[in-house]
Every structure is written in C-alpha cells, then in structure tokens.
Amino acid sequence: MIKITLKDGSIKEVESGISVLELAKQISEGLARVATSAEVDGELVDLRYVLEKDSQVNILTFDNELGKKAYWHTTTHIMAQAVKRLFPNTKLGIGPAIENGFYYDFKVEEPFSQEDLNKIEEEMKKIIKEDELIQRYSLPRNEAIQFEKEQNEDYKIELIEELPENEEISFYKQGEYTDLCAGPHLMSTGKIKAIKILSTSAAYWKGNQENDTMQRIYGISFPKASQLDEYLQMIEEAKKRDHKKLGKELELFMIAPEGPGFPFFLPKGMVLRNTLEDFWRKKHVENGYKEIKTPIMLNEELWHRSGHWDHYKENMYTTNIDETDFALKPMNCPGGMLVYKSKMHSYKDLPLRMGELGLVHRHEKSGELNGLFRVRCFTQDDAHIFCLQEQIESEIVNLIHLINEVYSMFGFTYTVELSTRPEDSMGSDEVWSMAEGALKKALETEKIEYKINEGDGAFYGPKIDFHIKDCLGREWQCGTIQLDFQMPERFDLSYIGEDGEKHRPVMLHRVIFGSIERFIGILIEHFAGAFPTWLAPVQVKILPITDAHLEYANYVKAELAKQRIRVEIDDRNEKTGYKIREAQLQKIPYMLIVGDKELQEKSVGVRSRQEGDIGQIGVDEFIDKILEEIRNYSK
C-alpha cells in the first residue's frame, strides 16, 4: 500500500500501481467523470499515470487553469487529426493550449478558406463521436526520428533533434492519428463536448520571421454547450468594445503607417490621458511620493551596470553619439538609481518614494503589435522606493492598499500572483530566498490569496503581479511590485545609518497602471467607450433647439467652463433628436437641451447617459450635481 496526500491535506491509502483515474473513482465517481489531468508531486500528468510510491496528488478539472490546458491540448490534436484526414499533404507544426483555447500551426500549399474551416470543424465533431481511445507511448530518439521521417513530418523531426539525446520521446495516438507530444491528454476524444474554430492567420515557424510561414488555426472547446455559447457571446461583445474601433470612432488615438507601434494621441485622447495622469499624481502626493523625470536615452555603460545590456539588449533601440553607444531606455529603473545617487541620504530620509511617468521604448515584432495593447513606446507609471530592510513589509502593504484603492476606483477586481526566481537571474540563493519570503509575508499579513508563478520573476528580483478583471471577465496583468536587492548593489547605493556608517538600501519597483497606453486601451474596452463622468473627454454636450437659443447655450457653456467642466455645443442646423443620437454615439455623459422654456427660466433640460431624461433643472443645480459626481470619481 502507498499513501496519497490529497490537496485538502487528507491522506488516502491505496494499492501501488493504481492509476490517477482509478484514484479519482475511489474518491468520487463524479470527480472521475470531470477530471482532465493531475499534478503528482508538482508534475503535470495524465489520468492514466500510474502511482507507485507515496505521493502528493491534486486531481484537476476544467475549472482549474492547468486542467483547462489538458482539455484544450486534447482538442488541438483532434483538430490536427481532422486536418490530416481532409488535407493529407499538410505538414504538422506545433499545437499548444493557450490562455483562451488552443491553436495548431500547419504548413499548407494554400491558406485555409472559411469553407475549409467549416469542413475541419465538422470533421472534428465526427472524431469526437468516434470516441477514440487516446494512448501514450515513448520511443528512443532514433526510432522517433525514423517514425517522423516515414510520416514526412519535417517540423517534428526538427523538434526531436532539439531534445536531449538520451531522452525518451513521447507520442500520443488516437485512431489513425499519432503526434509527438509531452501531454497530458484526456483519456479519449469523446471526452470533448463543445467545440468551435474561431479564426485563422499566418504565423512564422517558431515565431521567427526568417523561418517558414505556417497557417495557424485557433479554436476553443468546453465541457458544456452552454459554456461555449456564453464564450461566443462574450467574443461578440468584445468585438463591439474593441479599443481600436472605438478609439477611432471616439477620436481618441491613431496609429499611422509611418510609425507602426508608436501611437498618436488625438485631442480627446489627450484629455482622457491627462485626466488619468492627474488622478495618478493626486494619489501619489497623498501617499508621500515625489515625482521625477529621467532622460529617455542614456549611454551603454549604464545599461551594462544595470544588467539590461546582458539580459534585454535584443529589445532595446541603440544608436551612436560622439563615438559612444547609447540606448533608448526600455525601463525607467536605472535613471531612478542615478537620481538617488545624486546626493547622500540618511536613514532618516527612508523610505524615499520616487514616482515617474516615464516614456520607454522596446522593440516588439511587427506581428505582435496590437493597438494600444502592444506598442513600441509607452509610458510606465513607475515608482522606485528606497527603504530599510525592516521597512520592506510595511512598504509592500502600503503599495497593496494603494493599488487596491486605484483599481476599485474603476470598478476592477483582481487576482494576485507571486512570481519567483527565473533561470536567467542575478544574485545569490540567500538573497532571492529573503526577497521571496518578504513578499509572501506581506501578502499573508494582508490575507490576500495568491498563486505561485514559478520562474517568472524579473532577472533582478521576485515580484507580485496584479491581474485586473474587466466587465467581460477578461484578465489583464497591470500592476506589479518587485523587490530588488540587486540594483542597489550594482549601482553602489548607500545611506548613512544610525551608527554613522554606510549601508545598502533595499529597493522596490512598482507600477499600478503598468503602461498608460495599455491601461487606456483596457478602460476603453471595459467601459465600451462610455467613460465615467470624471474621466470622459467631453462631459457635457449642449444642444440648442434653434439658432435663437445659441446665445443662451454659450452662456451655459461659459458657466460650466468656469468650473472646469469639459463642455461642447452642438450648434449644427439639425433636429434635436438627431443631435441626441449623435451625442449618445459619442458616449457623452450629459446632454443639456436649451429652448424657449429653459431660456426664460435660466434652466436646462438634462438628459443623462445612464438615467435617461432627468427633466428641467437650474443651471447652478446641474453644476452642483455634476461637480459632486466628478469629485467622488463616481463610476
């Protein structure tokens, strides 16, 4: 007998040689029906995996992110099998599960048409109905290569040749279809229930533009048809909220062919941006930050000192000035180091909190650019906090409170991840252990649930990532808190302690918006362009019924403008109903209709975007109402 420790801490004694699926059946037949895969001693495995020793086992379902991956990975093999049935000469690339669904890359003579995609989807449904048993087996490296040669799968051979020479190569077989794969997969094709092919696009083999062009097919699958319907409805709603589409319609920003990845902000977009930055500054002043500005270009020596030249050079734009290499900054941190070093500090100065809205440049591949979400220049709302070691926990707690306050203002909820030491890192094991422990302690002190994201920390330190959730349930990684013992060492930062000696400060990096540009894109989609009144580029549109009311409309505009309310007049010779519809399309929070009655009574007819027709009220009363809404940052 062996002892199995389950996720809830309970221990179950079972016979050695039992499979994970059989274990799941012993726990509950219902669990066995919905299980997709499992974690055994931290390793992701199939349900067919055999347990032979005492182990920790976590049985996964579709409700778990890793469980979803196994479900979607199985579906991508079903899609590849369908493609090979319909188009036998197609060569297979790779087919991973991704954040939302899966894709598979194929080498084809002609791109897939919509008709082809429809046929592939129908063939996938046939394969699911066939309920083929999925079997896993391994081959020695030379036999695996020989098998792929017989299948004429050049890309698979390339993948095998990149694996260690002594490694057994695993395959998964379902019916006539066999694919090179590490797994895990479901037990049979019939376990997949609801599927949909979503789109197709061109993609470079392994993401390298010097390699062959493949045809990529994206898809999604769910255990229930109702889940698929909900997802497809969400996709349709997301299309309506597309920030690129709304950004153009609402005249917020543009991307010109002369500057791919370099956004232009238009007048209304600048109002939105400046309002967001003013809000940022207000919150930071309230929390004891001093604002700085550092240059966007600094010399190569600085980037060697910071470690970016060795760890990030391929993403940096460089040039030569006066026979010296310079780089546009990809991050604000090294400039913040130089500001700290510009004067001697005492322990009494710490914590020192310095914030910067700093423009950074990073080289992104053209195929990855996406509106404001993926650009080549953006403004990070950075802050660098220099503190004593005993101040670390309280500073992290303060940051968590600030981040929570800001996100709540926009109606965002969020989840938290702790990202640990990556392979490409600087510093000793002891320092990394200390840094990771400090972040964990702060999160646990605040009773915040978090997930460990192994190996995804920055090269100079671990980090806490905040993933905000928008109104459609989509997650966006925005805020981050990074604890850094490395940069202060590399830049020889110091402060004078109580003992009169020099000591090394600890440094915290953090962003809340992450990127101003990306955050604006998220806000556009979250609010569908209908921003809260305090954030709206135009807060009030005045609609005079005829030209005879234009003078009074200008008077009302002047009264509102005195209070710094953002207001415009629609003085076009159009019917009032038409003007109202136009203002609604522009997502204006308030429309003020002025005619004979309003002129006589020095009032306005108020129509709210949220409440509809409010009725006639005095100008001063309306000003008080909207100012209160703006002051309170009402959502």
- The catalytic residues are 333, 362, 380, 382, 384, 463, 509
Q: Pairing between strand 475-484 and 463-469?
A: antiparallel
Phi-psi label, residue 188: left if phi above 0, alpha if psi -120 to 50, beta otherwise: beta
Please provide the DSSP assignment of 195-214 as one string: EEEEEEEEEEGGG-TTS-EE
Strands (E), 497-597: 502-503, 506-511, 540-544, 567-569, 590-594
Q: List Cβ neighbours of 263 (8 Å cut-off, separation of 6 or more).
A: 253, 254, 255, 372, 375, 377, 517
Length of the chain: 635
Q: Which amino acid is at 29?
A: E
In whole angstroms, what is the distance from residue 411 CA to residue 402 CA?
A: 14
In whole angstroms, what is the distance from residue 221 CA to residue 631 CA?
A: 45
Triad 468, 469, 474: Cα angle to 5°: 125
First-residue to last-residue Cα distance in the chain:
59
Contact 510, 466 (CB under 8 A): no
Q: List Cβ neighbours of 41 (8 Å cut-off, separation of 6 or more).
A: 55, 56
- Residue that the structure tokens 């940069």 belong to: 487
In whole angstroms, what is the distance from residue 600 CA to residue 285 CA?
A: 46
What SS3 class is residue 309?
Answer: helix
Please provide the DSSP assignment of 253-294 as one string: EE--TTSTT-PEEPHHHHHHHHHHHHHHHHHHHHTT-EE---
Nearest CA to 180 out of 154, 206, 207, 211 is that of 154
Q: How far is residue 188 from each of residues 46, 128, 513, measured CA to CA in Å? A: 12, 8, 44
Q: List Cβ neighbours of 355 (8 Å cut-off, separation of 6 or more).
A: 284, 289, 290, 291, 292, 381, 382, 383
Give the helix ranges, DSSP H, for 361-447: 392-409, 429-445
Question: 138-158 b/e with 16+ CB inside 10 Å = b?
Answer: ebebeebbebbeebebebbbe
Q: To the nearest 10°, the Cα dihedral for 68, 70, 73, 74? A: -110
Q: How far is residue 66 from each of residues 45, 69, 183, 423, 631, measured CA to CA in Å? A: 10, 5, 12, 22, 44
In whole angstroms, what is the distance from residue 131 CA to residue 222 CA?
A: 16
Q: Which amino acid is at 254?
A: M
Nearest CA to 488 out of 392, 396, 421 is that of 392
Q: Which amino acid is at 386?
A: F
What SS3 class is residue 153?
Answer: coil
In whole angstroms, what is the distance from residue 472 CA to residue 425 CA?
A: 36
